[in-house]
């Protein structure tokens, strides 16, 4: 798959958006523990960032998936990873099921404002007791006439304090295991819906992450996305898209970190010469950049297979696993070559080092990717 | 209201820029170029005016093959159509010749209610093309606008000087050059990028404009660059250690450099 001039033009616009609308505020938002999503999202929407692949009927751009790849790479270059993640949640984690399985009425009411950046959304799957093993989740929606009455707790929810609606995964029957779950759109202004606490995190500090409590929250059964009882399966497909965002954005994060470090090693001198005169240093940076190139190529293969409608479970899981490990190695190495300065909060390497730790946990931990891959290889896992 | 915006394709300031050794003109072959950033403000202002009322924005550039990129960028931002004047004979033209070609192109476009330009190009940065162009078109020239409003048949601008701000009103049609204080240029949206592919761009040669090639190019230039010297590398700064007399020594240094 080859990117065209149009992709490059769009990339330039996303980069400009990041440079003008995000980076100047990064330090302030990091310190505040949140960014103003309702102010920023309309600006992201204005260049098409929040509905690239979606139907123009609902304000989407009708672009093919490759533009999503370009957008995610650029969001990965941001000085504040939490903001990029929040945009990723809105465009590639909380809304894909709604676009794919939702009714026209649901899309008009919930998808269109999300694409326009007027609504902020969350994906609510993880619970205090279970994350990796989604089959054990306990949040329960009980049917009462035309309503669901939902009770439960959701943990680590990105955009959690600012969301206007969440795409919630809940049990809608007592079958247990993978069966009997449904995806339900829950507006956050319903009685019984609350944010029990915002969570103080190691990294991605500009993003608000919250614990949500649902105490007999009533929403219409008409808010169910797709088929009642197929929520787990639909969410697994939505997770695949989330993995792609993680892998695509990582390439941007690594590129930027390595670019900055290459510039730095020319300036810093040790033992009478620039750091760049040490072959160990240049080889290490070249080696990491080479691995980034492999991930970039792999991502293009993921993108192409996805566009062709193939099952990309294996490709996307390989991408997510590789990305999580690589970006941590890159952040660690970049910090190392900056020495003591790299360890200071005032140097970009410190924030990056903290931020990238999430890459091997969120969106499916490394071990969960390995479990998926081992099973595909016919191994017990 | 129909607006023509003159935009220049310039070497990217981020890349290594240099001169063509054979004739001391700016080397435009071996560098990446782009729409002059200062001209983005003119495009933005035109788009805002047309969006608030009606009419069309035409972008006009004179430049080599690659200058089509500058037109394209303006179309992606939202301009309606483009005109690209390109002719080997134009290479090496100075400001009088550039303004001559621009003037003839604007006549061929059918004139405009408003001609907008940047305050200066980011490469030549002479700031004279707008004035020369206004003269050739017989239009009032209102330069360095940091604010612009159109009301009926007049345009009013604010020009910020060191000591005072002037408010200037001119009758339309007029030529206005705008500064980088006037607005915040938009960046192309996905829809804008796709829409630009379908917008019309005219390609004109000197013959199309009825200009004889002897009137333009290096040969017709009123000025000539005789010699080019690279700026010497920056000198090491002077460090004044403070041994109790730091103030006096600083003053001494400033006086020796004739700063005070
Ligand atoms: C900043 C942040 C934002 C988040 N945003 C969201 C969000 O918006 N929405 C949402 O629903 N969730 C979100 N999460 C939750 C995230 O998806 C989970 O943390 C993740 O899936 C892991 O689940 P867990 O924390 O329950 O860990 P557990 O499932 O308890 O796993 C703990 C550890 O056990 C190991 N492990 C897990 N499974 C296996 C296995 N099969 N074999 C061997 N080892 C294994 C892994 O190392 C894993 O890290 C977010 C988390 C963070 C930290
Ligand atoms: C290093 C150098 C060497 C030069 N050598 C010579 C030489 O040897 N002989 C000589 O005669 N001249 C020479 N020139 C002048 C050169 O040709 C001018 O750059 C050109 O005429 C336009 O002037 P400007 O770029 O300063 O435009 P400005 O007057 O600064 O431009 C103001 C505005 O006019 C408009 N505009 C300017 N150019 C165009 C264009 N091509 N298409 C559309 N709109 C435009 C834009 O809106 C722009 O914002 C040289 C310039 C430089 C920088």
Contact A209, A161 (CB under 8 A): no
Residue of B nearest to A44 (CA): B189
A9 at B interface, C-beta within 8 A:
yes
Query: Which token pair is A142?
Result: 């009980």
Domain count, chain B: 1
CB pair distance less than 8 Å for B187 and A47: yes
Q: What is the CA radius of gyration of chain B?
A: 22
**Residue partners of B67: CB distance under 8 A and separation at least 6:** B9, B33, B61, B84, B86
pLDDT at A281: 98
pLDDT in tens, B180-229: 999 999 999 999 999 999 999 999 999 999 999 999 998 899 888 888 88
pLDDT in tens, A196-226: 989 999 999 999 999 999 999 999 999 999 9
Q: What is the mean pLDDT of chain B?
A: 93
Helix (H, G, I), strand (E, B) or coil at A269: strand
pLDDT at B20: 79
Burial degree of B79 (CB within 10 A; 0-12, 13-18, 19+): buried
Domain contains B230: no
Q: What is the mean pLDDT of chain A?
A: 97
Residue B260 in this model has a pLDDT that exceeds 90? no
Domains and CATH numbers, chain A: 5-115 (1.10.540.10), 121-229 (2.40.110.10), 233-376 (1.20.140.10)
Q: What is the pTM of this model?
A: 0.90
**Residue partners of A19: CB distance under 8 A and separation at least 6:** none
Catalytic residue among A30, A105, A242, A346: A242
Using CA atoms of A227, A228, A233, A238 in order, give the dihedral in degrees to the nearest 10. Answer: 70
Buried b (16+ CB within 10 A) or exposed e, A192-213: ebebeeeeebebbbbbbbbbbb
pLDDT in tens, B134-158: 999 999 999 999 999 999 999 999 9
The whole-number average pLDDT for the span B162-168 is 95
| Residue spans of beta strands (DSSP E) within A224-375 | 224-225, 269-270, 273-274
pLDDT in tens, B58-89: 999 999 999 999 999 999 999 999 999 999 99
Per cent of chain B over pLDDT 70 is 99
| Residue spans of beta strands (DSSP E) within A178-263 | 181-187, 193-198, 209-220, 224-225
Looking from the CA of residue B39, the nearest atom of ligand 2 is 49
The pLDDT confidence band at residue B9, using thresholds 50, 70 and 90, is very high
Residue A228 in this model has a pLDDT that exceeds 80? yes
| Least confident segment among A10-14, A354-358, B58-62, B237-241 | B237-241
Please count the residues of chain A: 381
pLDDT at A325: 98
pLDDT at B253: 87
A310 is annotated as an active-site residue: no
The whole-number average pLDDT for the span A306-320 is 97
**Ligand 1 pocket residue status of A209, Cβ below 6 Å:** yes
| Least confident segment among A15-19, A75-79, B33-37 | B33-37
pLDDT in tens, A265-302: 999 999 999 999 999 999 999 999 999 999 999 999 99
CB pair distance less than 8 Å for B191 and A52: no
The pLDDT confidence band at residue B24, using thresholds 50, 70 and 90, is confident
Contact B62, B88 (CB under 8 A): no
Query: Which token pair is A204?
Result: 């991605």
Residue A141 in this model has a pLDDT that exceeds 90? yes
Among candidates A240, A101, A231, A241, which has minimal Cα distance to A178?
Answer: A231
pLDDT at B242: 84
Domain contains B257: no
Residue B26 in this model has a pLDDT that exceeds 80? no
Buried b (16+ CB within 10 A) or exposed e, A34-72: bbebeebbeebbbbbbbbbbbbeebbbbebebbbbbbbb
Closest by Cβ to A9, choosing from B76, B184, B191: B76
Looking from the CA of residue A94, the nearest atom of ligand 1 is 8
What is the domain range of residue B66?
3-220
pLDDT at A171: 98
B37-52 and B68-77 helices, crossing angle to 10°: 40
Looking from the CA of residue A127, the nearest atom of ligand 1 is 26
- Whole-angstrom Cα distance, residue A361 to residue A380? 22
The pLDDT confidence band at residue B19, using thresholds 50, 70 and 90, is confident
Domain contains B46: yes
Domain contains B48: yes
The pLDDT confidence band at residue B14, using thresholds 50, 70 and 90, is confident
Contact A304, A1 (CB under 8 A): yes
Domain contains B185: yes
**Ligand 1 pocket residue status of A14, Cβ below 6 Å:** no
Q: Tell me whether the omega of the peptide bond preceding residue B173 falls within 30 degrees of 0, making it cis.
A: yes
pLDDT at B183: 96
pLDDT at A82: 97
pLDDT at B230: 83
d(CA A146, ligand 2 centre) in Å: 71
pLDDT at B225: 83
CATH code (residue B10): 3.40.50.620
Domain contains B101: yes
CB pair distance less than 8 Å for B190 and A46: no
pLDDT in tens, A145-193: 999 999 999 999 999 999 999 999 999 999 999 999 999 999 999 999 9
pLDDT in tens, A318-368: 999 999 999 999 999 999 999 999 999 999 999 999 999 999 999 999 999
d(CA A156, ligand 1 centre) in Å: 9
pLDDT at B186: 94
pLDDT in tens, A108-120: 999 999 999 999 9
- Whole-angstrom Cα distance, residue A327 to residue A296? 13
CB pair distance less than 8 Å for A48 and B189: yes
Among candidates A76, A74, A95, which has minimal Cα distance to A85?
Answer: A76
Domain contains B239: no
């Amino acid at each position: 798959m080859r990117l065209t001039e149009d992709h490059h033009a769009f990339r330039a616009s996303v980069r400009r958006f990041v440079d003008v609308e995000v980076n100047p505020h990064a330090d302030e938002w990091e310190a505040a523990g949140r960014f103003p999503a309702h102010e920023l999202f309309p600006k992201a929407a204005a260049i098409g960032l929040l509905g690239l692949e979606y139907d123009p009927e609902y304000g989407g751009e009708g672009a093919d998936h490759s533009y999503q790849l370009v957008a995610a790479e650029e969001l990965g270059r941001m000085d504040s990873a939490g903001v990029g993640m929040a945009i990723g949640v809105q465009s590639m984690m909380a809304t894909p099921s709604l676009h794919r399985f939702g009714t026209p009425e649901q899309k008009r009411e919930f998808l269109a404002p999300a694409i326009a950046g007027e609504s902020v959304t969350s994906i609510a799957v993880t619970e205090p007791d279970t994350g990796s093993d989604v089959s054990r989740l306990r949040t329960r929606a009980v049917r009462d006439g035309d309503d669901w009455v939902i009770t439960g707790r959701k943990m680590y929810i990105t955009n959690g304090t600012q969301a206007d609606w969440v795409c919630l995964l809940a049990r809608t029957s007592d079958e247990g295991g993978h069966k009997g779950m449904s995806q339900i759109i829950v507006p956050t202004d319903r009685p019984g819906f609350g944010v029990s606490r915002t969570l103080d995190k190691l990294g991605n500090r500009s993003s608000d992450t919250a614990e949500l409590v649902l105490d007999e929250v009533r929403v219409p059964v008409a808010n169910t996305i797709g088929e009642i009882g197929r929520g787990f399966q639909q969410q697994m497909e939505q997770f695949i898209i989330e993995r792609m965002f993680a892998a695509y954005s990582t390439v941007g994060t690594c590129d930027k970190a390595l670019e900055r470090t290459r510039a730095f090693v020319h300036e810093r001198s040790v033992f009478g010469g620039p750091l760049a005169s040490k072959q160990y240093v240049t080889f290490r940076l070249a080696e990491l950049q080479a691995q980034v190139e492999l991930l970039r190529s792999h991502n293009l293969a993921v993108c192409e297979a996805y566009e062709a409608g193939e099952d990309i479970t294996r490709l996307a899981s390989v991408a997510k696993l590789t990305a999580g490990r690589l970006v941590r190695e890159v952040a660690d190495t970049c910090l190392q070559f900056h020495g003591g300065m790299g360890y200071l909060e005032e140097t970009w390497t410190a924030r990056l080092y903290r931020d990238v730790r999430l890459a091997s946990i969120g969106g499916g931990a490394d071990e969960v990717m390995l479990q998926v891959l081992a099973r595909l290889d016919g191994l017990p896992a | 209201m129909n607006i023509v915006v003159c935009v220049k394709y310039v070497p990217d300031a981020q890349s290594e820029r240099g001169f063509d050794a054979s004739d001391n003109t700016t080397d435009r072959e071996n560098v990446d170029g782009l729409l002059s950033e200062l001209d983005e403000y003119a495009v933005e202002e035109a788009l805002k005016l047309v969006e608030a009322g009606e009419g069309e924005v035409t972008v006009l550039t004179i430049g080599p093959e690659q200058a089509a990129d500058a037109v394209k960028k303006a179309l992606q931002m939202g301009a309606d159509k483009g005109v690209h004047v390109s002719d080997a004979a134009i290479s090496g033209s100075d400001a009088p010749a550039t303004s001559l070609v621009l003037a003839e192109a604007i006549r061929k476009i059918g004139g405009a209610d408003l001609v907008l330009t940047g305050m200066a190009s980011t490469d030549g940065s002479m700031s004279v093309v707008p004035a020369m162009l206004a003269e050739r078109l017989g239009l009032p020239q209102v330069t360095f606008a940091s604010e612009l409003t159109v009301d009926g048949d007049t345009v009013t601008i604010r020009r910020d000087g060191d000591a005072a701000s002037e408010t200037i009103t001119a009758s339309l049609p007029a030529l206005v050059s705008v500064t980088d204080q006037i607005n915040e240029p938009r960046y192309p949206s996905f829809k804008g990028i796709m829409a630009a592919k379908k917008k019309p761009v005219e390609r004109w040669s000197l013959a199309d404009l009825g200009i004889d090639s002897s009137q333009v190019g290096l040969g017709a230039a009123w000025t000539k660059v005789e010699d080019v010297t690279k700026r010497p590398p920056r000198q090491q700064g002077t460090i004044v250690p403070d041994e109790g007399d730091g103030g006096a020594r600083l003053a001494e240094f400033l006086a020796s450099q004739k700063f005070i």
